[in-house]
Amino acid sequence: MDVDAVFGAAQVARTERFERFHYVLWVLSQIALFAVLAIYARRGVAFVRESAAGPIGTGMLLGMLGIAIAWLVRIPFRVVAHWWNRRYDQTDLDYLEWIAEDWAILAAGFVSLCLALLVVMGLARWLGEWWWLPGAGVFVGIAALFTFAFPYLDFGTTQPLEAPALVAAADEYERELGLPDISLRVEEVSDYTDSANAYAVGFGPSRRVVFWDTLLMEPFSEDEQKSILGHELAHHAKRHLAKGLAWFVIFAVPGAWILMRATRGRGGMGRAEAVPLALIVVAVFQLAAAPAQNAISRRMEAEADWTTLELARDPDALEGVMVDLSRSSLGDPDPPGWVQLVLGTHPALADRVAMAEAWATREP
């Protein structure tokens, strides 16, 4: 496929320029992250003296401090990335708003980390080295609970979708896919970004499809919006979220076992002293598992694309979506292989266009 012909040579050059900068930043940021986590794994134990809490409380403190240091070290990269995004109109957030948002994300990270450490350290103190088996189960349970409850936690940030054509299309698609009535929502993001996105969340009665309001504006046509709708409903129809949880089990069990083995030298995860080491072990495991996880994700996205082609029978619309996404979100149509390997949760835009063209060729 001729990428320049489909996306426009100037646009391709622009997205490449935009993305290349982010790739470099990502690599540098990862190097800084692992360097600081390695140092913290060796020296972080000294912070034990800053705690009057018991082993689990002290472990929480050490975990939070590790995350905090990693956050501090990566601030310059994130500031530069934000500057770059502003330069390319990918965000209108000013630096103060961005900092406030970044602090909120860090705070949420602290809470999640403390919950995880409470589970792991509590089980490790109770069950010794066998904590990893029920521990992985608890994490899967928490992930399932979160996936189910997430749609209810939008705190009023979404509104019901009211576009009649899309609602009618949703009814038709749901009937064809054998789905019950799925809630369609709109999230307002156009105040601070031109980027476009949509996502499927929840399972069972909490299933939803959420559109960013930028997707409901120009340049996305009504046919393109229907194509995106079909894609998101396909995620629900093909049970991708439940399958994602099943995959999570496959990664969580060995991940927990590796964590147990790696921290044995520090007395195991029941001891606060093991937490600084655990942070880098988890970070390395996540990076190592990313190619496999991304491959699974790309497979599911491709399946959703194919399903929407079957539903809407409009390959031009899907191709239009990809071209418009490249323009609005500055996605590189044909990113380097290594980027797809470690960061690519979706097929490359060029591949998705190629799939639409292949479908059209197969079913003229």
Partner 1 sequence: MAVPSSERPIRLLLTDGSLERSRLTVFFRLILVIPHVIWLVLWGIATFFVSFVLWLAVLINREAPRSLHDFVAGYLRYATHVGAYILLAADPYPGFRGRPGYPVDLEIDPPVEQSRWSGFFRLFLALPALILAAALGGGLAFSSPGGASSATTEENAIYVATIGGVASIVAFFAWFAILARGREPRGFRDLTAFALSYSAQAWGYLLLLTPRYPTSDPALAEPWSGLPEHPVRIAVTGGLEHSRLTVFFRLLLAIPHLIWLLLWGVAVFFALVAAWFAALVTGRVPMALHRFLAAYLRYGVHVSAYVYLVGRRFPGFTGRAGSYDVDPEIDPPAPQNRWKTLFRFFLAVPALFVAGALGGVLLVVAFFGWWYALVTGRMPEGFRNLGASCLRYSTQTYAYFLLLTDRYPFASPILHGRREDVVEEIAAPPLGDAL
Q: Which two tokens stand for residue 217?
A: 């504006």
Residue ranges binding partner 1 (CB under 8 A): 47, 49-54, 56-58, 60-61, 64-65, 68-69, 103, 106-107, 110-111, 114
Q: Which is nearer to partner 1, 60 or 196 (CB)?
A: 60
| C-alpha torsion angle, residues 106, 109, 114, 117 (rounded to 10) | -130
Q: Which is nearer to partner 1, 51 or 293 (CB)?
A: 51
Q: Which is nearer to partner 1, 78 or 243 (CB)?
A: 78
CB of 114 to partner 1, least distance (A): 4
CB of 46 to partner 1, least distance (A): 9
Q: Residue 116 in contact with residue 139, Cβ under 8 Å?
A: yes
Q: Which is nearer to partner 1, 122 or 335 (CB)?
A: 122
Q: Which two tokens stand for residue 324?
A: 């418009």
Residue carrying the six token digits 């990269």: 77
Q: Which two tokens stand for residue 277?
A: 């080491």
Q: Which is nearer to partner 1, 149 or 292 (CB)?
A: 149
CB of 144 to partner 1, least distance (A): 22
CB of 57 to partner 1, least distance (A): 5
Q: How far apart are CA 133 and CA 214, in angstroms?
A: 44
Q: Which is nearer to partner 1, 65 or 278 (CB)?
A: 65
Q: How far apart are CA 234 and CA 198, in angstroms?
A: 13
Q: How far apart are CA 283 and CA 324, in angstroms?
A: 34
CB of 69 to partner 1, least distance (A): 7
CA torsion sign for 61, 67, 70, 71 is: negative
Q: Which is nearer to partner 1, 52 or 96 (CB)?
A: 52
Strands, sheet with 208-212, edge to edge from the N-terminal-most edge strand? 158-160, 183-187, 208-212, 198-201
215: left (phi over 0), alpha (psi -120 to 50) or beta: alpha
CB of 104 to partner 1, least distance (A): 10
CB of 121 to partner 1, least distance (A): 12
CB of 34 to partner 1, least distance (A): 19
Q: Which is nearer to partner 1, 67 or 216 (CB)?
A: 67
278: Cβ–Cβ under 8 A, 6 or more apart, which residues? 63, 120, 259, 262, 263, 269
Least Cα distance to 146 among 93, 197, 88, 206 occurs for: 206
H or E stretch including 221?
none
